[in-house]
Every structure is written in C-alpha cells, then in structure tokens.
C-alpha cells in the first residue's frame, strides 16, 4: 500500500481525472514504467490527461505533494530517458503520459500554410508527416522515429538527430513549458512567440484550441539579437566546415541546449513551434561501395565541400551490418513495405503490450514474439535488389547517398570523376526508385537487427551494448580499431550511421561470459582518446554520465530536482533551493 501522503496524492489524481485515467496497479502500468530497450522502476501511478489544463492541474497537485514527475509520450527512447530507473528514489513518482494531447496547428496562410507548426506534447512525427504531405512539406525527421510513433516534443527534448543532414538536430527556441522555480513554485512560461492570454488556464485553453491559427504575422522573441529559431538553421553551414576540430552535432552541445530543447524532461513541455521543410520535386539516390576507409573519408569531405548543395542524406552500412539486417530485419522490412509507415506505431504498441504479457508466463520461452517473427521471416522471399547484393559481395563499406533537384547532375558528375581517379577504389550506381526505397528500408531496419539477433540467440551470446557517437568534423580516421582485450570479448561489432555528419551507431554483441560494464568502460575510454562525443543523438537517459555543462543546464531548468531526477546519472534526491 502507498504511504499515507502518497495515498492522498493518488486520491487527488483520481478526482482530477477519474479512476479510468489513473493506473496505480503495477501489473497494469508496467508497460509505461519500462523502457523501450531497457530500464524500469516503480511509480505511484501513471496518469493520462486529455487536455492541457488537466496536465497543468496534475503538475500543480504533484508539486504541492512533493512528488517526482516524469513526463512520457510514446516511450520510444533508447536510453531509459522517459521511465523510472531503479528503486532508489526518495519520493513517490507520478508518470504523466501525454499521448492523448496530440493536436497539431498549422501556421500561415495560402502558400505559406504549414511552413511552421505548433505541436502539443502527444503529437507524433507520423501525424505531422501525414498532415504536411498534402502541402508538399515534411517534418524534421522522416522514416525512423516516425515508424514507432515517437512524439515531436520527445525529439525536441532529446535533441534527436536523424538521417537528414540538411536539418540538424531537432531544435526550437519557441515553446510553452512549465518549470518548478527556486522557490518550489510551478510557473508557466510562454516563449512560443504568440499571444495566448494572461493566466495559465487561459493560455493553455487557447493553445489547445488553436485560437491563434489565423494570425498571419506571428511575433518572434529576440534571442542574442536575432529572431528565435524554430529549427537549427545554422547546421548546413556547420556541416560544411569539414576542417573543424569538433563534431557537427551531439546531445550535450551547449549551442543547442535551450529551454525545451535538450531538456530531457526537466521541464513539462506543453507545445513547441517548429519549422517544416519543402518536399523536393525530384530526388536521386546513389548506392556507393568501397573496401578502403580512406576512400570513404575523402568521399565525405568532397560531398560536403565540393557540391553546389548539400545532399539530403548519406547513410552508411558496414557489410557485417548489411548481412545481419538482411536476415534479422527481414520481417520488419516487409511489414513496413506492405503495411506502410502509417500502421507501424500501432503495430509496435501492440507488440510491446503482447511482449509484456507473455513475459509473465513462465512456461513460455522468453522473447516469444521475436522468435515467432524470426521463424516466419525465413519463409519470405528475397527482398533486396540484385545490385545491392552484388555490392555486398564486392565491397565492405556501403553508402546510400540521396540528392535533390539541381544537385542531381552535379553529384553524378562528381562521383564519376571521383572514382575515375586511380587512388579511389570503389564504384557507384544510380538507383531506380524501387532500389532507392529498398536501400533506405534496409538501412532503417538495421537499427533493430542487432536487438533481434541478441534476443533470439540470448542463450548463446551475451548482452547488447549500443553506442551512438559523434566524431570530429576533421576526423578522417573514422573506422574503429579495437585492442585485443576488447575484441576478444565481442561476438559481433556492427557499424552503421549518418556518414556525412560523422555520426555512427556502433552495436556490440558481447560473448556470453563478457562483463558489460568493463567492456563499456573500455570502449568509452577509447572514444575519449579519439575526442569523440557520446551519445550523439539518443541523449544520456539513465545510461550515460552527463557532463558538467549538461548537468548545469538541467539544474538551471529544474533547481529542486522535481522532474525526471537521476537523468544523466545525476542525483535522484530533492534539492532545497530556498523552497522550504
């Protein structure tokens, strides 16, 4: 039973929302207390407000009771950032799930309609993509997080990266959010650049109903003698600076920590205002292969500095990852291809709930749904185009390069000239539309292939250790070289990533008897020696140590440690800042 003060809080939450919207039974709320990949912890309740005003009242109630607050949307984060972690908290925890508040308001009129949007906390990337497509515009992030139902605000809160190198990390300086100040008082801050009223409930009611949507000229707030940005409009210039001795992007970059952006749940975000992007009329994808890492290093520098425009994306796959994804991502490939991305969030949600239910049945094998899906995938026909499979046989390193409009012809000419030089061993081919789609799908499912392999073979192999890292922009030595003491503890090491940004996902499947903590410490030490930054785009969550600047940013947002305590391996206890 909850402690008396916790019981009072639970009753207050039930009075605010009704018992149907408050899950206090640990059996029923386990799904919301458990991370997408790992991590879990206790909670007094998981609550489901349907309106922004309800969310505001819940926050006030929790702050008055001295409870911990963790906000969560789709809970698709990969570093345990939207759930409790462990049992060493000093106060009751209330998880607030925001998915019911999913409105998206288009800003602008005529040809400018949808150039910017205002998204509420439960709005998903998939919903935004669907809304913008008829307007020939697209959101910051496309296939990837959108497929599993990730929220727009979640991406902003975590400075999420993505494949589209022209757009940079998810970022805005325009938001409505609530914070607990140094005196322990909850305050609502409207930095959306839109007049929504005076009182919190008036502001939030107008925000939810989109009472501002017909305004043509929306005011901006000044920041550093310039208008506040609704995306990282400086990223393309930063990426082209190929001789800079720092990464293009990483989660703890102080340049991109601003209020809601990078907050990691240390404030309660009610809405964000974001730029959207035109969909190009024409695109061309090139498939590139080589066996020489130095050739790919030169390729990256040339593509970033010698073309009239930046490519849309440049996605890397090592041959080992190609092979693993071809076998252990095959069912996901077909599900996305046949069902479409619009059905994927529902599919993953159903699978998650089914997994949670099955794991409680001790007589069934673990990871049953993954095992069944993997068996079924063997019955499916070959899904990868012949030319891609031929390149797999010939080349160790693979790059999917996509360009648009007037950049297509110059890129093809540049690639021909590049590989015509004797020192640049390798080759490329322009993809047909079908090959382009399948190449990108193959790259996308690679992200889950290592997880599938490890779960299916969990009796034969050790744990999965995923890292996402950002190398310096001037770093040509991008391929990892591991010492024997680390190499000997690994069953597989799998590399893929956003090559033009010098951002890599490195998934290590350990041998059965390997020590995860020891291996991780060794790998991170090597990355520190290479002056790489990590995590690059999944944020620290409860898996990484936040650096000094990031800790200070979190403390400035949340001086009393009310929201999401412990993030970045920080202290989980209440801080007294003159709040009695």
- Which of the four pLDDT bands, split at 50, 70 and 90, describes residue 381? very high
| Averaged pLDDT of the chain | 91
How confident is residue 45, by pLDDT bands cut at 50, 70 and 90? very high
Res 160: pLDDT? 86
Q: DSSP class of residue 365?
A: P
Separation CA 183–CA 56 (nearest Å): 18
Residue 342 binned pLDDT confidence (cut-offs 50, 70, 90) = low
Three-state SS for 21-58 is HEECCHHHHHHHHECCCCCECCCCEEECCCCHHHHHHH
- Residue 3: per-residue pLDDT: 52
Please check the confidence at residue 2 and state whether its pLDDT lies above 50. no
Q: How many CA atoms lie within 13 A of 272 on its CB side?
A: 33
Q: How confident is the model at residue 146 (pLDDT cuts 50, 70, 90)?
A: very low
Determine how many CB atoms are found less than 10 A away from the CB of residue 358: 14
- Does residue 216 register a pLDDT over 50? no
Cβ proximity of 76 and 141 under 8 Å: no
pLDDT range class, residue 200, cuts 50, 70, 90:
very high
pLDDT tens digits, one per residue of 83-95:
999 999 999 999 9
How many other CB atoms sit within 10 Å of the CB of residue 4?
A: 8
pLDDT tens by residue, 96-129: 999 999 999 999 877 888 899 999 999 998 899 9
Query: pLDDT band at residue 348, thresholds of 50, 70 and 90?
Result: low
Helix (H, G, I), strand (E, B) or coil at 294: helix
Q: Per-residue confidence at 346, pLDDT binned at 50, 70, 90?
A: low
Average pLDDT, integer, range 500-504: 96
Specify whether the CB–CB gap between 144 and 332 falls below 8 A. Answer: no
pLDDT tens string 565-574? 999 999 999 9
Give the residue carrying structure tokens 């789609």: 437
pLDDT at position 17 over 70: yes
User: Strand 116-119 and strand 268-275: pairing?
Assistant: antiparallel
């Amino acid at each position: 039973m909850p402690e008396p003060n916790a019981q009072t809080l639970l009753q207050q939450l039930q009075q605010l929302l009704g018992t149907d919207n408050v899950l206090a039974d640990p059996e029923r709320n386990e799904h919301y207390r458990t991370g997408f990949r790992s991590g879990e912890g206790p909670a007094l309740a998981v609550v489901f407000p349907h309106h922004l005003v309800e969310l505001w009242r819940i926050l006030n109630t929790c702050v008055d009771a001295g409870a911990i607050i963790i906000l969560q949307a789709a809970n698709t984060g990969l570093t345990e950032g939207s759930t409790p972690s462990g049992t060493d908290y000093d106060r009751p925890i209330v998880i607030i799930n925001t998915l019911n508040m999913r409105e998206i308001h288009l800003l602008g009129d005529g040809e400018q309609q949808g150039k910017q949007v205002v998204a509420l906390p439960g709005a998903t990337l998939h919903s935004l993509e669907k809304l913008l497509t008829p307007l020939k515009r697209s959101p910051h992030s496309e296939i990837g997080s959108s497929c599993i139902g990730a929220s727009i605000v979640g991406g902003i809160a975590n400075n999420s990266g993505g494949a589209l190198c022209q757009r940079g990390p998810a970022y805005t300086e325009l938001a409505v959010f609530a914070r607990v100040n140094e005196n322990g008082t909850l305050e609502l801050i409207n930095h959306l650049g839109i007049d929504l009223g005076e009182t919190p409930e008036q502001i939030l009611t107008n925000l939810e109903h989109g009472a501002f949507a017909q305004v043509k000229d929306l005011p901006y707030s000044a920041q550093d003698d310039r208008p506040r940005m609704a995306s990282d409009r400086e990223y393309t210039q930063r990426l082209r600076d190929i001789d800079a001795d720092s990464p293009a992007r990483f989660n703890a970059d102080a340049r991109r920590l601003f209020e809601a952006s990078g907050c990691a749940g240390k404030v309660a975000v009610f809405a964000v205002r974001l730029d959207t992007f035109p969909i190009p009329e024409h695109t061309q994808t090139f498939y590139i292969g080589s066996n020489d890492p130095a050739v790919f290093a030169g390729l990256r520098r040339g593509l970033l500095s010698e073309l009239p425009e930046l490519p849309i994306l440049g996605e890397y796959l090592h041959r080992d990852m190609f092979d693993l994804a071809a076998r252990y991502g095959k069912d996901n490939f077909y599900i996305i291809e046949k069902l479409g991305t619009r059905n994927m969030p529902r599919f993953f949600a159903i699978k998650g709930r089914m997994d949670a239910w099955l794991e409680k049945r001790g007589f069934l094998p673990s990871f049953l749904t993954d095992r069944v899906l993997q068996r079924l995938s063997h019955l499916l026909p070959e899904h990868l185009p012949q030319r891609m499979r031929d390149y797999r046989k010939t080349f160790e390193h693979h790059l999917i390069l996509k360009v648009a409009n007037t950049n297509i012809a110059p890129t093809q000419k540049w690639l021909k000239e590049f590989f015509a030089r004797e020192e640049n061993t390798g080759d490329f081919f322009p993809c047909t539309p079908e090959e382009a789609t399948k190449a990108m799908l193959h790259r996308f499912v690679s992200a889950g292939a290592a997880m599938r392999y490890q779960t299916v073979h969990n009796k034969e192999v050790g744990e999965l250790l995923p890292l996402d890292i950002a190398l310096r922009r001037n770093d040509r030595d991008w391929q990892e070289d591991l010492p024997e003491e680390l190499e000997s503890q690994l069953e597989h090491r799998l590399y893929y990533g956003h090559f033009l940004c010098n951002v890599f996902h490195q998934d290590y499947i350990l041998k059965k008897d390997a020590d995860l903590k020891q291996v991780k410490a060794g790998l991170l030490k090597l990355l520190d020696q290479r002056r790489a930054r990590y995590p690059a785009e999944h944020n620290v969550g409860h898996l990484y140590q936040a650096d000094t600047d990031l800790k200070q940013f979190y403390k400035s947002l949340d001086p009393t440690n009310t929201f999401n305590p412990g993030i970045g391996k920080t202290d989980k206890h209440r801080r007294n800042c003159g709040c009695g």
